[in-house]
């Protein structure tokens, strides 16, 4: 069950049935999405003043949170990289406060 990313960054959502939660194809699809958009997320954080090591940690936490929300069925759609950039920058702002 491999999800492809269209030219606008929207990802068709894979099934969230309980039996699919450990599907290797789903993990491969997410890894491909992260690889495609990770640089944009990092650049957004660095542009807001985050040191690169902090940006990497915050970005990883943001990707994990979005993945978990998706797997739990709480996201109607994924607009990438926007949703992760918003999650990461919000996390960075909270950490600095």
Work out the angle between the directed axes of helices 24-47 and 82-96 (0-180°, nearest 10). 50
Confidence at residue 46, expressed as pLDDT on a 0 to 100 scale: 97
SS3 39: helix
The pLDDT tens digits of the residues spanning 5-42 come to 444 455 554 544 444 445 666 888 889 999 999 999 99
pTM of the model: 0.74
- Helix (H) or strand (E) holding 31, with range, is helix 24-47
The residues, ordered by sequence, that sit 6+ positions from 89 with a Cβ below 8 Å of its Cβ are 44, 45, 48
The pLDDT tens digits of the residues spanning 38-83 come to 999 999 999 999 999 999 999 999 999 999 998 888 988 888 999 9
> Any idea where the domains of the chain sit in the sequence?
38-97
């Amino acid at each position: 069950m491999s999800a492809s990313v269209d030219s606008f960054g929207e990802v068709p959502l894979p099934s969230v049935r309980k039996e699919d939660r450990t599907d290797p194809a789903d993990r491969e699809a997410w890894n491909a999405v992260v690889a495609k958009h990770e640089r944009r997320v990092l650049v957004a954080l660095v542009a807001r003043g985050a040191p690169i090591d902090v940006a990497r940690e915050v970005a990883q936490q943001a990707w994990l949170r979005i993945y978990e929300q998706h797997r739990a069925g709480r996201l109607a759609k994924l607009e990438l990289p926007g949703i992760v950039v918003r999650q990461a920058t919000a996390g960075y702002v909270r950490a600095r406060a």
